[in-house]
């Protein structure tokens, strides 16, 4: 990850993964990736990192916290069990 090409790829990696890089830049990046194992590992694991976070289960507000929220706003009459 020390060459100028690696640094260029690193700066544009999210744009590339998000499909926001130009066709010209994509071609340039793919050329570099075909010959740089380190950058390939970083691109693959960065893509996987983002994908894992998108699949991460979302935390839910505990029911007692929800009850306290309604009470604190004087809305207990609208509090229905989830």
Q: Does 35 bind another protein (CB under 8 A)?
A: no
Q: Which of 5, 57, 63, 81 binds another protein (CB under 8 A)?
A: 57
Q: Which residue has the tokens 């994908």?
A: 51
Q: Which of 3, 10, 19, 30 binds another protein (CB under 8 A)?
A: 10
- Round to whole Å and give the CA distance between 74 and 80: 14
| Least distance CB 21 / another protein (angstroms) | 12
**3-class SS at 52?**
helix
Residue 31 or 48: the one with the smaller Cβ distance to another protein is: 48
């Amino acid at each position: 990850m020390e060459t100028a090409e690696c640094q260029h790829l690193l700066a544009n990696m999210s744009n590339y993964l998000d499909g926001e890089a130009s066709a010209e830049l994509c071609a340039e990046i793919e050329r570099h990736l075909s010959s740089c194992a380190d950058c390939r590992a970083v691109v693959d694991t960065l893509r996987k990192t983002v994908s894992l976070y998108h699949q991460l289960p979302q935390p839910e507000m505990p029911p007692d916290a929800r009850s306290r929220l309604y009470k604190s706003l004087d809305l207990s009459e609208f509090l229905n069990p989830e």
